[in-house]
Structure 1
Amino acid sequence: MKPVISLRDLEEMLRQGRDVRALPPDAILTPSARDFLRELESNGALKPRSSTGTAAAQPAQGAEAKPQPPAQPLSSKSPRAELEAFFHSAWCRELKEQMCDIGRRLWERAYVDGNGGNIAIRVGEDLALCTPTLVSKGFMKPEDMCLVDFEGNQLFGNKKRTSEILMHLQMMKAQPKDVASVHCHPPYATAFAVVGITPPTCVIPEYEVFVSVAVAPYRTPGTPEMAKLVADLVDKYNTILMGNHGVVTWSHNNVEEAYWRAEIIEAYCRTLMVAAHLGRPINTLTPQQLKDLLKIKECLGFVDPRYGLQECELCHNDDWRPGVTCQVPAKPETTVGYDPEAEALVQAITDEIMAQLK
């Protein structure tokens, strides 16, 4: 009898990290399974199948299909067996490797020290992968990663999850587009956070397009208070300077982009500090030039609180230097002229009233 392959069979294969192309040549696919494979093919993960509905021939030696997420997102309420299979799936393994790679890059750039910094990736309705606590980000292994729900409860992982996971989770709750976030302590950007100054705008195009920065006041790291202060800002900002602490960034695309923002804010702050010592005023973009960059930024889907502002409001930098401000014409003061006849009439009426009261 020919084997019948259902959608559930394919999903189970993916959860176990198996290649869904490794089907028996005479396998019969159910309609939903066939549609699922077509979707994978359209994403470039599979080669087209034959017209008979069977799986296509195996790819050339050395070629591997890109791991795919579950067809239906899991949640903390999913069966534990499914969650465990998901946590050990090829797709999660790839994300864990990305987290290790980014952790190493953070460490090599001296954006973290000791066991500092943490990374989180949304992987389900209320699930996230995160880095462990008390482990140098430069020497993490995929098996060190943890799976947590959005309340911070650890579901899987050999090591204990990061103590600052609540901040990442609150960010994801407050900003549904947040799929990944990176927290680190790059020295130049952290210097701005220590003094509580937002870097000036209208200087470098890459900064204007890729990041939007706000400062959150200090609270004890890992506490709900710190998490809330940061989460309250992610609606309009994707890069938060955490007072006396560091930087946290998020992305609506992937963890790599969140890491890029850490690089961009650090390079920008370093450039500003170097330029400030050259003895010349910093040249700035015009409001119209910034407006053009914001159009690009909006098309890319990045958040920014300046959308819709007038040109004269775009390059105002109170914390760093005075910028252009919108000049609202003052209303002319109204003055009441002296009218002798009116004054005489008022006085006459007053005298008559006073005489009648005697």
Structure 2
Amino acid sequence: MSARQELIEVGRYLLNNQLAWGTSGNISQRVDEGKMLITASGTFMGDLKEEDFVLFDLEEQKNLSDRKASKETPMHTGIYRNRPDVQAVIHSSPFYTTLFSCSDEAISSELFIENMYYLEHLGYVDYFHPGTEELGQAIAEEAKKSDVILMRNHGVVVMDTSLSEALMRIETLEMTCKMIVTAKASGIKLNTLSEKTIKEFLEDSRYKPRKAR
């Protein structure tokens, strides 16, 4: 499957699983040396076509295609430039995740297996207008230590070594946020795992090998 076809499948998956809606959000994948494919501006995530992607030079910060790149290109380029290990980036605004980005509610990473693994490095950035250099710089800096970044009153951006792993991050985050909201509404107290248990789980690869940071 080509990189464009992979991205098309991811866009469809995001929309079909309520992890994206309409034209909100953008996805990218590192291709070749120093280049990325990113969704073009105004594309509908659930109906992407091969011509809906822009080839972008990460070193020269130059659009190599005829289409206009997503307005969030500064966010994606900042991540790739600061994180050589990252091969895929997803930015979206899932309902429960966005709800948390608009509140001061904490997101726990001590609840269940995938939650411990995929949300180990979760960070936040303050609100900046979409597509601005300020937002791109804030994300690029936070990406040095976080794989999941909530943007206050905006949404989330996740990154990983593949599109499938990036999908797992955003899906795990949305499930966690939904669990917390549902538990609070139902009066259910969630029990977290101990620091010792989490350390053992992550360091002894009880789920899968811990990714180097």
Same fold (TM over 0.5): yes
Alignment of 1:224-263 (within 5 A): 224-252=133-161, 254-263=162-171
Residue 56 (structure 2) pairs with residue 143 (structure 1) = no
Distance 1:142 1:219 in 2: 31
Q: Deviations over 1:153-178 (max 9, x none)?
A: 2102x532111111000011111111
Distance 1:217 1:196 in 2: 12
Distance 1:161 1:149 in 2: 11
Residue 211 (structure 2) pairs with residue 301 (structure 1) = yes
**Residues 210 and 302, structure 1, Cα contact 8 Å, conserved in 2:** no
Return the structure number with greater relative CO, CA threshold 8 A, min gap 6: 2
**Residues 75 and 140, structure 2, Cα contact 8 Å, conserved in 1:** yes
Alpha-carbon RMSD:
1.8
CA distance 1:259–1:232, change in 2 (3 Å)? same
Select the residue among 40, 43, 53 that pairs with 1:132.
40
Alignment of 1:33-44 (within 5 A): none
Distance 1:116 1:188 in 2: 15
Aligned-partner residue type, residue 151 of structure 2: M
Alignment of 1:62-77 (within 5 A): none
Residue 26 (structure 2) pairs with residue 118 (structure 1) = yes
Shift of 1:277: 2.3
**Residues 250 and 258, structure 1, Cα contact 8 Å, conserved in 2:** yes
Aligned-partner residue type, residue 301 of structure 1: K
Q: Percent identity?
A: 29
**Residues 22 and 46, structure 2, Cα contact 8 Å, conserved in 1:** no
**Residues 217 and 243, structure 1, Cα contact 8 Å, conserved in 2:** yes
Distance 2:109 2:175 in 1: 14
CA distance 1:118–1:279, change in 2 (3 Å)? same
Where structure 1 has 5 or more consecutive residues not aligned to the other structure, the ranges are 1-92, 304-358
Alignment of 1:165-184 (within 5 A): 165-184=73-92
Distance 2:5 2:103 in 1: 35
Give me the TM-score of the superposition, normalised by structure 2: 0.91
Select the residue among 189, 199, 202 that pairs with 1:281.
189
Where structure 2 has 5 or more consecutive residues not aligned to the other structure, the ranges are none
Distance 1:268 1:302 in 2: 23
Distance 1:196 1:231 in 2: 23
Q: Deviations over 1:298-352 (max 9, x none)?
A: 933154xxxxxxxxxxxxxxxxxxxxxxxxxxxxxxxxxxxxxxxxxxxxxxxxx
**Residues 202 and 210, structure 2, Cα contact 8 Å, conserved in 1:** no
Hey, which of these two has a bigger chunk of strand by percent?
Answer: 2
Shift of 1:228: 1.1
Shift of 1:197: 4.1
Q: Deviations over 1:218-275 (max 9, x none)?
A: 10111111011111111221111111111110012x1121122111100111011111
DSSP-derived class of the 2:27 partner: strand
Q: Deviations over 1:56-88 (max 9, x none)?
A: xxxxxxxxxxxxxxxxxxxxxxxxxxxxxxxxx
Distance 1:173 1:248 in 2: 15
Q: Which moved more, 1:195-204 or 1:110-119?
A: 195-204
CA distance 1:235–1:298, change in 2 (3 Å)? farther
Aligned-partner residue type, residue 165 of structure 2: E
Distance 2:17 2:78 in 1: 27
CA distance 1:298–1:139, change in 2 (3 Å)? closer
Shift of 1:123: 1.2
Q: Deviations over 1:32-63 (max 9, x none)?
A: xxxxxxxxxxxxxxxxxxxxxxxxxxxxxxxx
**Residues 196 and 217, structure 1, Cα contact 8 Å, conserved in 2:** no
**Residues 28 and 36, structure 2, Cα contact 8 Å, conserved in 1:** yes
